[in-house]
Structure 1
């Protein structure tokens, strides 16, 4: 990450959906659709569209989890919701158009849907515009921070056998590498602040290849020592107050623009299952997603309990020394 060329530090326009990655646009649009629905049930809205929109599709629209391949459908939904033509109506349609554009990760998907899932496409797109990100990892070092050798090794040991046998390791490694490259660009341009919390057990899980582990640990130390990039590495070495199962937790925040205030999103991955949960729309009286509230508490507790930068560095340095000792 340290050898990047200088790049443009200006943020893309956030107005009206222009310049937004599809997942952020879908997120904001979904929050507004839910707000416009009010106390009505989703099936009431579907009925009001004369069933031109299915219940499952409308539900996914509200949750912001679908790339909108047919933006005109949103006009049908807005009519059913009673949103009158005007500036607000036009803004929501602009968001629908922005939410229809394919993200960069889609090129990894051709023929590989079983490994490049809808959840991964959405997470990669949300990362493109998040201005604040917290990642908690228990299964492997964060994908965005993996060396190439570690990425290949981790994929071999963490991918299900069916995907390994189908030759999906290279797809996973390529996708993680691209996520890392894009994060590095955003960090270098000061467009995002990222904090990574790594389970202490991972510092000693070398998959039988201590030489690869040593390089990965050294990279962690290099990132901790880098005072230029807005990045932090911390170790999770204490028991969690809440019993929440996860492989990866990520909380993504978005700088509020004059046009929109964007909800925060939490991504929860446990094994092969993944889910997204969003906060309430800032400034609204919308009830918060209870799963979001619970997971948000977990993340806040981890941030509070994790050793500070200096202590985390010492823990990682000791793990590196022990790993190097095994190489003798």
Structure 2
């Protein structure tokens, strides 16, 4: 039996740095992979080319090494795989599973964020400013998350036919990650709970591509005391190499609350070794977000 395969996902935008929120989900994915004697791969999700910063990917990779998160194999960069994504889009356009759309964003906003299917039967031709949408089922899709339990969504009712290529030509995240996960043989996905609502859309694409979906574990988002998410979009401070020992210990206090205090000054390799052996994700809070306990407790 082959080893389980996990993915560490990193979008090198807009700051060009790795932040604590991203580190936390990366560590959770790494711990789960190592605990199950699996492989941990790294992917740069750099499709949003106008926002990419030169050197950002290399900076992220250096930071991962500094924090002891060593990956298997070559780093996959989505910007190198545009032809592969377009191949799938073309197949779906040809079969009628996907279609062109010129609807403005305000129309979807006016419909409570659910695309009303305006272009479903219009048979618009290809055009530089047309998005591509994927037809979705009107049936509920369910999956069992290892922490959050059973999640059920009807995509047509919650979002409608969704975009797989934007009007500016950029491939949508939803499509790219599914194709990458299939091509890389991913068996397990560990990521933040903010992506829970994306999972049914990805399950639908797995069905269309006739490929089994991976197992999912969505860990809670860590919120600041003011209620804001710890993320690069909120301007969180970039991780500093000389603070790796203290910052990793802070992350492990959240993910593995029983970590011994004496490990606070231990090398990152020793901290990770302990955390891999004691990894119990089922002990994490079964919620989408929690306050940062390391800040609450001081």
Short-chain TM bin: under 0.3
Which structure carries more strand by proportion?
Answer: 2
- Flag the structure with more relative contact order, 1 or 2, with Cα contacts below 8 A and sequence separation at least 6: 2
Question: If the length of structure 1 is used for normalisation, what is the TM-score?
Answer: 0.24
Structure number with larger C-alpha Rg: 1
- Length-normalised TM-score, structure 2: 0.26
